Amino acid sequence: MLRTRIIPALLLRNESLVKTRRFGRFTYVGDPCNTVRIFNELEVDELVFLDITATREGRAPNLALLTDIANECFMPLGYGGGIRRFEDAKAILRLGFEKIILNSYALENPQFIAQLAEHFGSQAVIVSIDVKRTIFGRNKVYTRAGTLNTSRDPIEWAQEAEWLGAGEILLTSMDREGTWEGFDLELVRSVAGSVNIPVIAHGGAGSVADLGRVVKQAFASAVAIGSMVVFQKKGMGVLINFPDPAEIAKAMEPDASA
Amino acid sequence: MITIVDYGMGNLGSILNMFKRIGAGARISANPLDLEGAEKILLPGVGAFDGAMERINSGGFREVLDRKALVERIPVLGICLGMQLLTRSSEEGRIAGLGWISAETRRFPQSSGLKFPHMGWNEVNPSRASPLTAGLASGARFYFVHSFYVRVDHEEDSILQAHYGVTFDAAVEHGNIFGAQFHPEKSHRFGMQLLSNFARL
Amino acid sequence: MSDPYLSHAPTSLKVCSRCIYDERTASISFDAQGVCIYCRQIDRLTEEYGTGTAAGKAKLDAIIQEIKRAGAGRRYDCVIGVSGGTDSSYMVYLAREWGLRPLAVHYDNTWNTAISTQNIRKVLSALNVDLYTHVVDNKESDDIFRAFFSAGVAEIDAATDLALAETLYRAASKHGVKYVLEGHSFITEGITPIGRNYFDGKYIQSIHRRFGKRPMKTYPLMTFGRFLWWSCGAQIRKIRPFWYIPYSKEDARRFLETRFGWQYYGGHHLENRMTAFFHGIYAPQKFQSDFRNNTLSALVRTGRMSRSAALIEYASPPQVEEELLAYFKKRLGLSDMEYERIMRLPPKSWRDYPTYKRRFERLRPLFYLLAKRSLVPMSFYLKYCLPAGP
């Protein structure tokens, strides 16, 4: 049976791991290589690294650091943050990463999605969509680490990305991120229902039950978790961990009433 | 010493990395001449069938690979697309495969509900014992990413099977030729077990 | 002058008749019965604290009552430093058994292993205890470790120990807590002779100033001033329950395994990769220092292991995780050549760098009083305030 992927999403800030809340304040979480080692030991399914200041600072990806990270990893790895050039994408994939994650630049230059997909295959291209709800209750796509409102609708952008060749969508709710309050099921359902490619739900997970809910009720194909894997509990200290696989499997079982 | 063939497609760094971690000697080579002295060959692959076969055929690899595999009969392991290349043909492309194993590569039926490619961790079941899969615990799982699958003509060539809409061969063995559809280099201790076994053949 | 740290041929060594410390141990001396000064120190402590006796238990009960009283109305009444190891995990369990409301505190030097974080998670979630963590910036942490490595001194992990102490105080202060519970047991661990395990804030600062490259921003440095503030100003007390009641590490381990699914990390310090490097590679290879004699001696003193068995185990080399060395070099950005070069440099000692040691010795009367009132641990007084021998 194909297991539902539960993917720790780790945020890089310069050469350290951090965790943000609602794309705002950050807490130091630790060393990227050591954290990858721990996740290796815990045998997690897949990992995603997102450099949250790369685009804002106009930086290219730190290949030396990514090489160090890739050398520690014996599971699939994705990287996103400041990828604007074909050469960078190629170098990162050659280092040992399976997936390139595009965000800001994909909106600036959508053809880049097609270029990468054609060359490396769709399965290597994830388009990351950060969404914030306006005061009128409408969902808008933001870029540049959540600082720029593009006024685009997430469903419409996701469909365009799929059409261009994206293999997956990483859908992040900026409002829920770091809050432990649960996923924005409505948002995830609306996007997952409008594309055929897998949607990875991200932002808001607070418990294993939340993981089950977003998969079964909102049709996410996979789930990315941040706070849950780096903090002991909501509001408490940093502790790298991963939910018990048996508990996850149970949460993914079809509901009795369904 | 295992020679990993660099014909321009595949995540070679990760494969080399896992061999290093398990303490097996391995090197990457983009030069067909290096293959002459190879004791074991690993054929990686990520991407499209025709693209890969073209590179192998025109890059000077074909002749020496055929000789090493079919005449000298050194152990060969094809991974992911590399396993599909071992078959005689694929529905993905028009160029013939290496044909080292009597099998065909087919497209997954696009049944409703299932998303493609088949991507993620899936369980494998042994079809029969094999030195390549020795020591794999029951319930072993591997990381798969593929839109096409392999089915061998002769059941005895199948050593592991998995299921995604259809049942397909996850690993194959025919004499000195081995194949793994999944990515052992990204499958934690299960992958390490498999690559260790290959190194010890 | 011959280097006192170089080892002699084992057969000519004088060994304590009771435990297995030998004459290489710093500041050691033997009495008329051939019993070493450390065994005697432990005898005295046992008598003073009533370890394992009804009197000891009564003392501890009184302290527990006092902790509850002082913490009434607050969210937590004590803090406990956790590492995922045996002592601290068991201490959290006991604290709950005693009806205390502990806050678990962890200092993350960014070299943890999955075993330690999983152990912490399992024990704390089962006991419903909150966790406070201080994570140092990984680059800063590596800079400090590299500085100590380049300085050639033994205490490469000292920065972690001191940072935990400072973090404990900060966590306590933040929540208005007056008591820190520590899982140290002089019975199971012995008092570490000062020779190769010195650390204080000035020492860390001196090494960092000489050999470090990054400013210390997130590293919690305990300066002398802070130390005095915490102990005399904020008056946060350090209590070590295992000094009063009997404690067996082996029994604790078995209990933790059964009750919480806790995992033993083995004698190779697999809970933290820097500690593992220190104990398994650095100390034995550069200083011929093998700290296993601490725990082995303790086992011998309490009759859990025969002296001959301990000597045999001690004679075989410590085991180490494969490619731990590769990871160490990678983290600290050391080439193979650079690593070898530094390892071959002559070993240095804490005496070669500025520290607070003399100040601690000068203020001995003050610290004696503080120790009597548990405002600093008595073991601190014994180790730091008494003059260290050659």
Residue C267 confidence (pLDDT) above 70: no
DSSP bridge pairs for C103: C79, C130
Whether the CB of C82 is below 8 Å from some CB of chain A: the reply is no
Q: What is the pLDDT of residue C6?
A: 38
Name the residue with higher pLDDT: C26 or B84. Answer: B84
Measured between alpha carbons, how far is A132 from A148 in angstroms, rounded to an integer? 11
Burial bucket for residue B137 (CB in 10 Å: 0-12, 13-18, 19+): exposed
Confidence of residue B110 (pLDDT cuts 50, 70, 90): confident
The contacts of residue C321 (CB under 8 Å, 6+ apart) are C268, C270, C273, C276, C280
State ipTM: 0.88
CATH, residue A21: 3.20.20.70
Contacts of C54 (CB under 8 A, 6+ apart): none
Question: B113 pLDDT exceeds 50?
Answer: yes
Which of B13, B122, B187 faces A96 most closely, judged by CB atoms? B13
Is residue C188 within 8 Å of residue C320, measured between CB atoms? no
Return the residue matching tokens 């699939």.
A76
Q: Is residue A95 part of a domain?
A: yes
Give the per-residue pLDDT at C390. Answer: 52
| Contact between chains at A42 and C114 (C-beta distance less than 8 A) | yes
Q: Which two tokens stand for residue C363?
A: 């203020």
Token reading at C90: 């068991």
What is the average pLDDT value for chain C, to the nearest integer? Answer: 88
Is residue A258 assigned to a domain? Answer: no
- In this prediction, residue C11 has a pLDDT band, given cuts at 50, 70 and 90, of low
Q: How far off is chain A from B70, nearest CA to CA, in Å?
A: 30
Q: Is residue C94's pLDDT more than 50?
A: yes
Asked if pLDDT for residue C356 goes beyond 90, the answer is yes
Could B13 and A221 be called an inter-chain contact, meaning their C-beta atoms sit closer than 8 Å?
Answer: no
In the beta sheet, which residues pair with residue C2? Answer: none
Domain annotation covers residue C232? yes
Please report the pLDDT score of residue C195 as a whole number.
64
pLDDT tens digits, B51-91: 899 999 998 899 999 999 999 999 999 999 999 999 999 99
pLDDT band at A95 (very low <50, low <70, confident <90, very high): confident
Strand A16-20 and strand A5-13: the pairing is antiparallel
Q: Is A240 on the interface with C (CB under 8 A)?
A: yes
Determine whether the interchain pair A121/B188 forms a contact, defined as Cβ–Cβ distance below 8 Å: no
pLDDT higher than 70, residue A258: no
Give the total number of structural domains in chain A: 1
Read off the pLDDT band of C4 (50, 70, 90). Answer: very low
Instruction: Read off the DSSP letter of residue C347.
Output: P
Give catalytic residue positions of B.
Answer: 80, 183, 185
pLDDT attached to residue C131: 97
Least confident stretch, A101-105, B135-139, C99-103, C236-240 = B135-139
**CB contact (8 A) between residue B122 and residue A3:** yes
Taking the Cβ of residue B115 and every Cβ of chain A, the question of whether any pair is shorter than 8 Å is answered with yes
With beta carbons less than 8 A apart as the criterion, state whether A7 and A46 touch.
yes
Chain B: nearest CA to A24, how far in angstroms? 32
User: Is the pLDDT assigned to residue A19 strictly greater than 50?
Assistant: yes
Does the beta-carbon distance from C138 to A232 stay under 8 Å? no
Contact between A192 and A220 (Cβ < 8 Å): yes
Output C315 or C324, whichever has higher pLDDT: C324
Report the residue of C88, C105, C110 to disrupt the A interface, i.e. the one with the largest count of A CBs within 10 Å. C110
Which domain covers residue A79, as residue numbers? 5-252
Closest by Cα among A179, A235, A177, A231 to A28: A231
* C109 found inside a domain: yes
CA distance C192 to C379: 9
Residue C162 CA to residue C384 CA, distance in Å, equals 14
The torsion defined by the Cα of C189, C195, C197 and C200, in degrees rounded to 10, comes to 130
With an 8 Å Cβ cutoff, is A32 touching chain C?
yes
- The domain of C268 spans 51-287+313-385
Any long-range contacts for C11-15 (C-beta under 8 Å, 24+ apart)? C15/C311
- C3-29: string of b/e by CB count within 10 Å (b at 16+)? eebeeeeeeeeebbebbbbbebbbebe
What number of CA atoms fall less than 13 Å from residue B157's CA on the CB side? Answer: 23
Asked whether residue C357 is domain-assigned, the answer is yes
How close, in Å, is residue C141 to chain A by CA atoms? 10
Quote the pLDDT of residue C89: 96
Residue C140 has pLDDT above 70, yes or no: yes
SS3 C352: helix
Active-site hit among A31, A51, A68, A130? A130
Copy the structure tokens of residue B78: 């094809």
Rounded Cα distance between C13 and C62, Å, is 45
What average pLDDT does chain B have?
Answer: 93
Average pLDDT score, chain A = 92
Give me B42's structure tokens: 């690993």
Shortest Cα distance, chain B CAs vs residue A37, angstroms: 12
Among left, alpha and beta (phi > 0; psi -120 to 50; other), residue B29 is beta
Contacts (Cβ under 8 Å, ≥6 apart) of C156: C145, C148, C149, C274, C277, C278, C282
- Tokens for A126, please give them: 């994830």
pLDDT of residue C3: 38
Q: Is C19 within the bounds of a domain?
A: no
**B164 in contact with chain A, both atoms CB, cutoff 8 A:** yes
Over C220-284, what HEC string results? CCCCHHHHHHHHHHCCCEEECHHHCCCCCHHHHHHHHHHHHCCCCCCCCCCCEHHHHHHHHHHHH
Residue of C nearest to A67 (CA): C330
Full-model pTM:
0.87
CA gap C42, A199 in Å, rounded: 63
Residue C12 or residue B16, greater confidence: B16
DSSP element (H, E) containing A250? helix A245-252
Give C64 or A20, the one with higher predicted confidence: C64
Q: How confident is the model at residue A22 (pLDDT cuts 50, 70, 90)?
A: confident
Number of domains making up chain C: 1
CA–CA dist C63, C239 (Å, integer): 8
- From the list A2, A73, A197, the residue facing B120 with the nearest CB is A2
| Mean pLDDT value across residues C129-148 | 96
Average pLDDT over residues B26-49: 92
Q: Out of A1, A71, A76, whose CB is closest to B123?
A: A1
What's the pLDDT score for residue C198? 86
Q: Is A256 on the interface with C (CB under 8 A)?
A: no
Q: Indicate whether C5 pLDDT > 60.
A: no
Is residue B11's pLDDT more than 80? Answer: no
Let me know: does B126 contact B136? Beta carbons within 8 Å: yes
- Give C139's Cβ-side CA count (13 Å radius): 10
C287-303 pLDDT, tens per residue?
Answer: 877 777 777 777 787 77
C167 at the A interface (CB within 8 A)? no
Query: For residue A68, which of A35, A98, A29, A90 has the smallest C-alpha distance?
Result: A35
User: Measured between beta carbons, which residues in chain A are less than 8 angstroms from residue C120?
Assistant: 232, 239
More confident: A56 or A168: A168
Q: A152, A66, A138, A151: which is closest to A101 by C-alpha?
A: A66
What CATH number is given to the structural domain containing B9? 3.40.50.880
* Of residues A226, A43, B143, the one with CA closest to residue C118: A43
Q: What is the 3-state secondary structure (H, E, C) of A141-193?
A: EEECCCCEEEEECHHHHHHHHHHHCCCEEEEEECCCCCCCCCCCHHHHHHHHC
Query: Percent of chain C beyond pLDDT 90?
Result: 60
Instruction: Compare all CA atoms of chain A with the CA of C272 and give the residue at the minimum distance.
Output: A34
Question: Which domain CATH number covers C337?
Answer: 3.40.50.620
How confident is the model at residue C133, as a pLDDT? Answer: 95
Contact B105, B91 (CB under 8 A): yes
- Interval A179-192 mean pLDDT: 96
Q: Which of A172-181, C32-41, C249-258 has the lowest mean pLDDT?
A: C32-41
Nearest to B74, CA basis, from B125, B130, B20, B35: B35
Instruction: Please answer yes or no on whether A16 and C120 come within 8 Å at the CB atom.
Output: no
Q: Which two tokens stand for residue C225?
A: 């001033």
User: What is the predicted pLDDT for the residue at C389?
Assistant: 60
Given a contact as 3+ CB pairs under 8 Å, which chains touch C?
A
Specify whether the CB–CB gap between A173 and A183 falls below 8 A.
yes
Q: Give the three-class secondary structure for B5.
A: strand
Q: Which residues pair with A169 in a beta bridge?
A: A127, A199
> How many C-alpha atoms does A187 have within 13 Å on its Cβ side?
28
pLDDT digits (tens, 9 = 90+) for B139-154: 899 999 999 999 999 9
Question: What is each CA distance from A148 to A103, A111, A159, C89, C255, in whole angstroms?
Answer: 12, 20, 21, 46, 54
Interface contact C139, partner A, CB < 8 A: yes
Overall number of domains in chain B? 1
| Residue C234: pLDDT over 50 | yes
Peptide bond into B117 cis (omega under 30): yes
Mutate to test the interface with C, among A10, A11, A19, A239 (most CBs of C within 10 A): A239
A131 compared with C198, residue with greater pLDDT: A131
Under the banding of pLDDT at 50, 70 and 90, the label for residue C9 is very low
Please tell me which of the candidates A15, A34, A42 has its beta carbon nearest to residue C112.
A34
Q: Is B45 on the interface with A (CB under 8 A)?
A: no
Q: Is residue C84 a contact partner of residue C131, using CB atoms and an 8 Å limit?
A: no
Residue contact B188–A74, C-beta within 8 A: yes
Q: Does C273 touch chain A (CB under 8 A)?
A: yes
Q: What is the pLDDT of residues A35-86, one digit of tens each?
A: 999 999 999 999 999 998 887 788 888 999 999 999 988 999 999 999 999 9
Using alpha carbons, select from C100, C109, C50, C111 the residue that is nearest to residue C77: C100
Interface check C352 vs A, CB under 8 A: no
Cα–Cα distances (Å) from C68 to C62, C74, C231, in that order, read 10, 10, 20
Position C269 pLDDT exceeds 90: no
